[in-house]
Amino acid sequence: MSSENKTIFDIDKEKDFPDWFGEICKVADLADIRYGVKGFTPFPPWSLMSMNLMFNVLEEVLQRKGHLPMLFPTVIPESNLTKEAQHVEGFTPQVFWIENIGDGEKLEEKLALRPTSETAIYPMYSLWVRSWRDLPLKRYQRCSVFRSEIKSTRPFLRGREFLWIESHNVFATHEEAKAQVMEDLETTKEAVTDSFCLPVMVFRRTQWDKFPGGLNTYAADTLMPDGKVIQLPSTHDLGDNFAKAFDVKYLNEGNEATYAFQTCYGPAVSRIYGAMISVHGDNKGLRLPFGIAPYQVVIIPIFKGQDAETVTKYCKDIEQKLKKAGFRTHLDVSDATPGWKYNFWEMKGVPIRLEAGMRDIKQEKVVLFRRDTMKRTSLELKNLKKQVAAIGKEIDASLLKMAESRFEGLIVDADTLSAVTDALEKGKVARIPFCTTEMEGLPCAEEVKDRTGGEIRGTRIDIDEKPEGVCTVCGKVAEAVVYVARSY
């Protein structure tokens, strides 16, 4: 069967993930690639509703930890973008430029659509930060960023416009900045793992793979169904590099002008959403975590003609009780058959389905179906609100446990490049001794990529590892343990 004739129910996600992903985006109405501009994709309600909930989770965590919201313009003057040399060198190939207005009149200065906002925000920080009393300054914005992606594009996972939150913070000392980086990694755990049910490996990126202009980059990667990894949130220790470029100074308590230290953090919500549907989905469609599903509960009335009014009223009462209790609930009173509705809402990934007919009414019960386990159980109506809340938590824990099980046996030790290739071909991640993650190690990293197709993700900071032996590539004494994987 050709891929264009497949339905989501014909595709085995584990064997044919690319086709599965494209099909679920279409049939679940998550993204429409027919917009006509490569890498720019409209997001219909079902995906956007979830992404808005994901934004809410991240914003709640950030605000609880002292960040305040702001919003900057989408465009950045070229003169700003070029102030930090390493930064502009790293991003210029991906920048979209605006040069003309109207019928071709040239702008006095080219404007970049923001690829990230350091060079937009930090000139203003140089005005906003005056004294040690202004610090720490912790701000974030929720916005789109634009990058002319040179690899093939795919909705959510790799596009030219993506939705994210970026936090930008200013501190008096480098120690405070480094503590913020660790706080950002904890924020990633709270949001990405605890709320979106995605396990991650946390890496310190190599010096050739760090954020342009920064000192160090730390990033969380998760494993996709095809064995590749994908970067989710990353956080960056900028040191005082950007402060010096943009004159972000403060008067210390001795009334001396001192350069500040800065960090930035960027959870790309649209990419995290793409990873989330990929990891949790199955051959029937989506399986959404309870906490961020647009509808947490869908209710299906089961009746024959003469029972329609009675059953529908019973289901409407259930809907109102659950909505009043704070659950996002939808009563499906469409003309479709119950079987069609079951398949549809299973494909859309609604965590809990309730079914009720005349027999349930007589017993004051309802049938509850869990999308994660595909199992039904009969519940007494009087306990329904508590049961829905408890089962919702169970569903999220279940999805995370199933996702974590994919990490078991994922990492294999390799001491030759052929062993690395073998691991990657089997959808695994190779762990190897490596000479150095400083710039001197770049030639070895390039050889790894050329010969295996894998990229060095960095050194783990969420577990304690010590290098032994010699570099897998050059044979020098190993100074690091690094991980090699194919990636998006």
Task: Report pLDDT for 103.
Answer: 82
* Two structure tokens written together for 29: 């109405």
Q: What is the pLDDT of residue 9?
A: 67
**Same structural domain, 27 and 113:** yes
CA 349 to chain centroid, in Å, comes to 18
Tell me which H or E stretch contains 165.
strand 161-171
User: How confident is the model at residue 378, as a pLDDT?
Assistant: 96
Note the pLDDT of residue 85: 65
Measuring CA to CA, which residue among 381, 286, 295 is closest to residue 368? Answer: 381
Q: Which pLDDT does position 3 carry in this prediction? A: 39
pLDDT in tens, 146-175: 988 766 678 999 889 999 999 999 999 999
Give Rg (Cα) of the chain: 25
- Measured distance CA(106)–CA(120) in Å, rounded: 21
**CATH at residue 466:** 3.30.110.30
User: pLDDT tens across 360-403, in order?
Assistant: 999 999 999 999 999 999 999 998 999 999 999 999 999 999 99
Helices (H) and strands (E) in the chain, counts: 14, 21
pLDDT in tens, 196-219: 999 999 999 999 999 988 999 999
The CATH number given to whatever domain includes residue 353 is 3.40.50.800
pLDDT of 81: 83
Domain count, the chain: 3
Query: Does residue 138 share a domain with residue 26?
Result: yes
pLDDT at site 355: 97
Residues with Cβ within 8 Å of 371's Cβ and at least 6 positions away in sequence, in order, are 287, 288, 346, 349, 350, 351, 352, 353, 395
**Same structural domain, 368 and 219:** no
Query: 132 and 238 in one domain?
Result: yes
Ranges of residues in the chain whose predicted pLDDT is under 70: 1-9, 85, 87-88, 90-91, 150-152
Range of the domain at 433: 411-485
* Structural domain includes residue 406: no
Residue 131 CA to residue 110 CA, distance in Å, equals: 33
Looking at the fold, whether 275 and 148 belong to one and the same domain comes out as: yes
| pLDDT score recorded for residue 7 | 54
At 31, list the tokens. Answer: 């993204």
pLDDT of 193 reads: 97
Per-residue pLDDT at 4 = 41
In a domain, 300, yes or no: yes
CB of 223 closer than 8 Å to CB of 410: yes
Strands 352-356 and 297-301 come out as parallel
Q: Is residue 160 part of a domain?
A: yes
Contact 301/337 with Cβ under 8 angstroms? no
pLDDT above 90 covers a percentage of the chain that reads 85
Q: Give me the pLDDT at residue 53, please.
A: 98
CA distance 341 to 436: 56
Task: Kindly state whether residues 276 and 299 are assigned to the same domain.
Answer: no
How would you class 54 by CB atoms within 10 Å of its CB: exposed for 0-12, middle for 13-18, buried for 19 or more? buried
Maximum distance among all Cα pairs of the chain, rounded to whole angstroms: 84
Could you give the CA distance from residue 456 to residue 283 in angstroms, rounded to a whole number? 32
- Tens digits of residue pLDDT in 401-412: 999 998 888 899
Contact by Cβ (8 Å): 464, 485? no
Q: Do residues 63 and 211 share a domain?
A: yes
